[in-house]
């Protein structure tokens, strides 16, 4: 390999990493816009393609203020040295990436309706399009409600996840996964909305109806297709730019 080719490859790698950091900043802000703030708690991360490295929102900033410069490098291998600015719940992300080769992005937040829903024994029902996306697809982790500070707990959560796209951490929020930052951040918004709508329905004290299995299958295929997810992401990015002027420069 010539020096020129090596330099070009390094430059392309840097560009790719910069784009991931920018998209994580957009994901953070759109999560803030949709009710996921909890001081500086909660994380969003993305695995670098073909790598054991990933970027994750730093520990000291909230979703509402995160910028591309606040994204911290980390490794799937827990024995690797990490930045002191990495969030304490890094093992949660490491364990899931370790267990799930199909996952390239993770959102963990304490969004209120998802947290309340996870404290119940309700199953997500297809009251809305959002509920149809997650019907029978969100298990619960009940071994502890504490902060995930070690790989043993992270691996237990990954085991409880199985091949599901999300999991409720009882009394601790939720974890949502995606093949991309786009998918994970959109689905995190969808799950919170599904939980909010169902909690309202449950509190109404009246019988309610849900979509048929046929409709659920068709909604999952159309409303949550890759093209639809992209359109929801693009909309959310526009909303971020409307909310925070500095985001337009990203």
Q: What is the pLDDT of residue 239?
A: 98
Please give the pLDDT value at position 176.
99
The whole-number pLDDT of residue 7 equals: 44
Q: What is the pLDDT of residue 14?
A: 84
Please state the domain count of the chain.
Answer: 1
The pLDDT score that the predictor gives to residue 13 is 64
Only one residue has tokens 């199909």, namely 102
- Residues 13-37 pLDDT 10s: 688 899 999 999 999 999 999 999 9
180 located within any domain: yes
Assess if residue 245 is contained within a domain: no
What local confidence, expressed as pLDDT, does residue 8 receive? 42
Residue 162's Cβ-side half-sphere holds a number of Cα atoms within 13 Å equal to: 7
Q: Is the pLDDT of residue 220 over 50?
A: yes
Q: Is 178 among the domain residues?
A: yes
239 in any annotated domain? no
The whole-number average pLDDT for the span 182-193 is 98
At residue 11, the pLDDT reads 55
Task: Answer for the pair 175, 92: CB distance below 8 angstroms, yes or no.
Answer: yes
Q: How confident is the model at residue 75 (pLDDT cuts 50, 70, 90)?
A: very high
Give the rounded percent of residues in the chain with a pLDDT score beyond 70: 95
Q: Domain containing 111: what range?
A: 16-234
Residue 12 has pLDDT above 90, yes or no: no
Q: How far apart are CA 81 and CA 48, in angstroms?
A: 17
Q: Are 158 and 164 in contact (CB under 8 A)?
A: no
**Nearest alpha-carbon partner for 173 in 83, 48, 41:** 41
Q: What is the Cα Rg of the chain in Å?
A: 18
**206, part of any domain:** yes
Model pLDDT for residues 80-130, shown as the tens digit of each residue: 999 999 999 999 999 999 999 999 999 999 999 999 999 999 999 999 999
In a domain, 207, yes or no: yes
Asked if residue 6 has pLDDT above 90, the reply is no
* Mean pLDDT taken over the chain: 95
- Residue 90's CATH number: 3.40.225.10
The confidence score (pLDDT) of residue 49 equals 85
**Average pLDDT of 174-198?**
98
Q: What is the pLDDT of residues 141-179, one digit of tens each?
A: 999 999 999 999 999 999 999 999 999 999 999 999 999
Question: What backbone torsions phi and psi does residue 58 show, to the nearest 5 degrees?
Answer: -65, 160
- Tell whether the torsion through CA atoms of 15, 16, 22 and 25 is positive or negative: negative
- The model carries a pTM of 0.95
Q: Is residue 1 scored above 80 in pLDDT? A: no
């Amino acid at each position: 390999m010539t020096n020129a080719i090596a330099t070009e490859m390094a430059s392309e790698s840097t560009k790719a990493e910069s784009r991931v950091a920018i998209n994580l900043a957009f994901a953070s802000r759109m999560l803030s816009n949709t009710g996921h703030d909890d001081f500086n708690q909660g994380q969003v991360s993305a695995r670098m393609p073909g790598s054991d490295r990933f970027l994750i929102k730093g520990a000291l900033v909230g979703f509402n203020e995160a910028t591309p410069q606040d994204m911290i490098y980390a490794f799937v291998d827990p024995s690797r040295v990490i930045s002191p600015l990495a969030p304490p719940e890094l093992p949660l992300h490491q364990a899931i990436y370790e267990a799930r080769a199909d996952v390239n992005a993770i959102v963990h937040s304490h969004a209120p309706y998802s947290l309340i829903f996870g404290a119940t024994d309700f199953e997500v029902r297809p009251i809305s399009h959002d509920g149809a996306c997650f019907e029978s697809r969100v298990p619960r982790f009940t071994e502890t409600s504490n902060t995930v500070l070690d790989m043993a707990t992270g691996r237990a959560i990954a085991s409880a996840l199985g091949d599901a796209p999300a999991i409720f951490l009882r009394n601790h929020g939720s974890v949502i996964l995606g093949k991309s930052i786009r998918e994970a951040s959109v689905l995190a918004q969808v799950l919170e909305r599904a939980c909010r709508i169902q909690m309202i329905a449950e509190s109404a004290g009246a019988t309610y109806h849900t979509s048929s299995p046929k409709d659920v299958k068709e909604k999952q295929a159309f409303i949550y297709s890759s093209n639809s997810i992209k359109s929801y992401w693009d909309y959310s990015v526009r909303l971020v730019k409307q909310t925070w002027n500095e985001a337009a420069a990203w």
